[in-house]
């Protein structure tokens, strides 16, 4: 992402945040693979950092894709949001793999939306469990919320723009004719980052 990092986040801080993403998203991807009963691969997590409110949503908007996303709010030392985001075609494939294909009309129904929200809940729960062990603290997550639309509008429905400056982005893929890809975005609350980083340095 082209936007520069805020002065408060140096290279060691970004390394710590990427470590969180590697551990937490690794568990999240494993849980998603168990749900799908197939192997899910993940790329090395990236830190996306922008100066302006809503920088992450703006970046997704520039990609020009319609997205389906499920967001959960994280509470505790790692306060913020976790978002499971997929291009709409891949989201349809995910729903179908879970036994709830979208109707032929292309409109999402309650069953296919429920399948996506359950996926987001499982991904979020696995992430929270892994990071709670890492920071030796309790983390909670909210019920999942689903959003659809162009990248910027989709993320704006789930994450306040002021909180949307930093994301730890992990791309995941599955192989095969019904293969799919998506992103897990972990978006810490900027105001909570100093306490989180201090805890990680002391871990």
**Domains assigned to the chain:** 11-202 (3.40.1550.10)
User: pLDDT class for 194, splitting at 50, 70, 90?
Assistant: confident
Check residue 5 and give its pLDDT. 42
What pLDDT, in 10s, does the model give residues 107-129? 788 999 999 999 999 999 999 99
In DSSP terms, 146 is beta-bridged to 70
pLDDT at 1 over 70: no
Q: What are phi and psi of 36, to 5 degrees?
A: -85, -15
Contact 166, 48 (CB under 8 A): yes
Encoded tokens for 26: 């690794």
Higher-confidence residue of 166 and 4: namely: 166
Asked whether residue 154 carries a pLDDT value surpassing 70, the answer given is yes
pLDDT value of position 134: 86
Residue 7 is predicted with a pLDDT of 46
Distance CA 16, CA 127 (A): 16
Question: pLDDT at residue 2 above 70?
Answer: no
Residue 30: count of CB within 10 angstroms of its CB:
15
Question: What pLDDT is attached to residue 6?
Answer: 46
């Amino acid at each position: 992402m082209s936007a520069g990092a805020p002065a408060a986040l140096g290279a060691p801080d970004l390394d710590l945040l990427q470590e969180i993403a590697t551990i937490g998203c690794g568990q999240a991807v494993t849980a998603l693979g168990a749900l799908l009963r197939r192997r899910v691969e993940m790329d090395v997590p990236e830190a996306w950092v922008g100066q302006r409110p809503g920088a992450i949503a703006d970046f997704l908007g520039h990609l020009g894709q319609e997205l389906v996303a499920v967001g959960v709010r994280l509470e505790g030392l790692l306060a913020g949001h976790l978002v499971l985001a997929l291009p709409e075609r891949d989201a349809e494939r995910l729903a179908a793999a879970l036994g709830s294909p979208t109707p032929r009309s292309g409109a999402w129904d309650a069953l296919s939306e429920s399948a996506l929200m359950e996926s987001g809940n499982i991904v979020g729960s696995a992430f929270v469990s892994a990071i709670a062990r890492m920071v030796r603290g309790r983390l909670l997550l909210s019920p999942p919320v689903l959003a659809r639309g162009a990248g910027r509008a989709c993320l704006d429905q789930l994450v306040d723009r002021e909180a949307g400056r930093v994301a730890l982005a992990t791309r995941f893929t599955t192989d095969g004719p019904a293969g799919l890809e998506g992103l897990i975005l972990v978006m810490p609350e900027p105001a909570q980052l100093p306490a989180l980083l201090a805890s990680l340095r002391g871990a």
